[in-house]
Structure 1
Amino acid sequence: MFGLVAASPPGGAMGAHQIRTQDGIELWYRVAGQDAGIPVVFLHGGPGEGSQVMQALGGPALERRLHMVYLDQRGSGRSERPSGSKFYSMHLLEADVDLVRHELGVDKIVLLAHSAGTTIALDYAADHPDHVAALILTGAVPDLPAAIDNLCDRLKSVHPELYAKAVKARESGRKCNPFAVFGDKQRQAFFDDNMFPNRIVRERVNWLDHIPSLANSGQLGEALSAQGFMDYRFDRPERLSMPVLFIAGGHDFQTALGPQRTLAAKLKDGRVLVYPNSGHFMFADEPEQFASDVSAFVSRATRSLSDHSEP
């Protein structure tokens, strides 16, 4: 319906590939777009959403300009979904990114991440700064407690009666518990209103998210939550020596813009770009503008690498 692409040969060539991790998990990734230039590896959100939304709605514009790589994280999309919490952790997700980099046969990659995937990108870039040429974070959550507080503020403004209940259900140190006061359908409607100013984009994203073979099983998110994921705060800005671009939606009420600006200000080369009319899926709201901004940023980072490599 929205142009998803089937599998093709193994290796670093164009098409879809399957590789196996050291702990035996089969990962799926797809290489597309320009057959030249530094690979731009996309890390989806969720956790557990899969890369199909970006491939279908943002990918066509990106692929006209960039060498794209879409990774379905373990437990997500077309990658294997093992049972057991031992197969899921931030450390393993980060190791999977490095495995894909090795499979691509390159020393450096650009990381383009969305939502919960930005936590993996931040940790990978901090642990492997020499392997990341540039970092692009969209709908970023560098401080998840602050993002949850932002949800509380949103709940207070649109559902004050539910906010009072959420305050009573809060955990120690939290403003409220916005997840405890909804039924499943109500919760989805609240999140949709937070993320999608455009009804058509909402319908497309939700259709792609609910393709039976690709839908989020919840395994990855549940495992990470049990390991303290909801307390994630990135606290190593000094490790991010590469250029970093935050792209935020002016109508994205699912995340918090303040922590993105705060982190960008601490970086050697950090900048924030806000799309006033977009939501959480800004690459679907404004795909051509998004692709133009991302490709320009990648070009700038690539030129900077070339300049520094000259004797």
Structure 2
Amino acid sequence: MEFFTSYDGTTLAFRTLGDGPPLICLPGGPGRAADYLGDLGGLSAHRTLILPDTRGTGGSAMPADLATCRVDRLVADVEALRHHLGLDRVDLLGHSAGGSLAMLYAAAHPDRLTSLTLVTPSFAAVGLPSDTGVDEVIAARAAEPWHAEAVTAHRHMKTANTFAEAAPYRFAFEPLMYGRWDDAARAHAAADPAQRSLPVSEHYYKDYTPDSQELRRRLGALPSPVLLLAGEVDLWPTAKSAADAASLFPEAKLAIQPGAGHYPWLDDPQAFTAKVEGFLSEVS
């Protein structure tokens, strides 16, 4: 684990994994430490993954002001990490809520970006829906043995007002987030509570209102290539939402990974790594 000091004096942690050109990988959750990303399905064989823990999670200190955990304010932490690493420009990957953060960073610092990879990203930061057609995706998995329990848990989570209220139902709901509910998926989901900082989860989007028109203008002028990778059976974002959002960018490659859920590097590591590394190799 390595550390650096961000703009407000908060000590933030990151680790590096693998070999090759650097790739900064922003975790989601929101509020989940970067450990859950693992080696991104073997992507570390091709890239040096730089895996920061969002402030208040994992090895990073909890800030004095939790309002600094809001997604738009986290952009300054990403920029502080870039500066600490001594990188003039970065290849940036964001997963889930980290995808929202990555889009905001791209909009704020387009001149610091070489490429943008969005893996099953949330579009909340840019004011677009992530759940278009979600009921059809859930219904299509009705033959799975866990389906009824997961749907009930999903209903409870939708009516919860906070991440803490939703927490008791999360594990029963989790099969809907994976392409295969196997031992690896169960272990990955079971690790969530220990990796998640609920205060950060609660503040990630709190009081945030996107300037959607301005963000779409900036992203529409982004000079860097973009890979938007969605899972065929993911709920947030659905493949339909990802396809709709691709028009945000002038140069977006849309990839829908067959049979994949929210964590496509677990569902089919080879397919995931081939798609992401293929894109990054083209960029370089």
Identify whether the pair has TM-score above 0.5, normalized to the shorter chain.
yes
Per-residue CA deviations over 1:41-77 (Å, capped at 9, x if unaligned) read 0001111111101125x26x11111122111111222
Q: Match of 1:27?
A: 12
Gaps of 5+ in 2: 143-147
Q: Give the counterpart letter for 2:6 in structure 1.
A: T
Per-residue CA deviations over 1:224-277 (Å, capped at 9, x if unaligned) read 332136x79652332322110111111112322233222323422111111111
Alignment map for 1:150-165 (pairs within 5 Å): 150-151=133-134
Q: Match of 1:296?
A: 278
Kindly tell me: are residues 155 and 292 of structure 1, through their superposed partners in 2, closer, same or farther at Cα, counting changes over 3 Å? closer
Equivalent residue for 1:129, pick from 110, 114, 119: 110
Equivalent pair of 2:232/2:238 in contact (CA under 8 Å): no
Structure 1 length normalisation: TM-score? Answer: 0.75
Structure 2 length normalisation: TM-score? Answer: 0.82
Per-residue CA deviations over 1:10-65 (Å, capped at 9, x if unaligned) read xxxxxx3101112121100112222x43x210001111111101125x26x11111
Per-residue CA deviations over 1:174-205 (Å, capped at 9, x if unaligned) read xxx92339864335423x13201322232121
Q: Give the counterpart letter for 2:198 in structure 1.
A: G
Identity %: 26
Q: Match of 1:62?
A: 43
Q: Secondary structure at the match of 2:49?
A: strand
Q: Match of 2:223?
A: 241
Alpha-carbon shift at residue 104 of structure 1 (Å): 1.1
Per-residue CA deviations over 1:88-107 (Å, capped at 9, x if unaligned) read 22233111111111111111
Alpha-carbon shift at residue 78 of structure 1 (Å): 1.4
Q: Match of 2:234?
A: 252
Equivalent pair of 1:141/1:260 in contact (CA under 8 Å): no
Distance 1:232 1:150 in 2: 25
Q: Match of 1:3?
A: none
Equivalent residue for 1:201, pick from 178, 181, 184: 184
Equivalent pair of 2:115/2:226 in contact (CA under 8 Å): yes
Q: Give the counterpart letter for 1:194 in structure 2.
A: L
Q: Secondary structure at the match of 2:25?
A: strand
Equivalent pair of 1:51/1:72 in contact (CA under 8 Å): yes
Q: Which has the larger radius of gyration?
A: 1
Equivalent pair of 2:230/2:238 in contact (CA under 8 Å): no
Alignment map for 1:165-204 (pairs within 5 Å): 178-180=158-160, 184-190=167-173, 192-198=174-180, 199-204=182-187
Q: Give the counterpart letter for 2:55 in structure 1.
A: R
Equivalent residue for 1:53, pick from 36, 42, 58: 36
Q: Match of 1:222?
A: 202
Q: Match of 1:261?
A: 243
Root mean square deviation of aligned Cα: 2.9
Q: Match of 1:112?
A: 93
Q: Secondary structure at the match of 2:259?
A: coil
Equivalent pair of 1:151/1:178 in contact (CA under 8 Å): no
Gaps of 5+ in 1: 1-15, 170-176, 303-311
2:22 is the alignment partner of 1:42: no
Equivalent pair of 1:147/1:256 in contact (CA under 8 Å): yes
Distance 1:184 1:208 in 2: 13
Equivalent pair of 1:244/1:271 in contact (CA under 8 Å): yes
Distance 1:150 1:228 in 2: 25
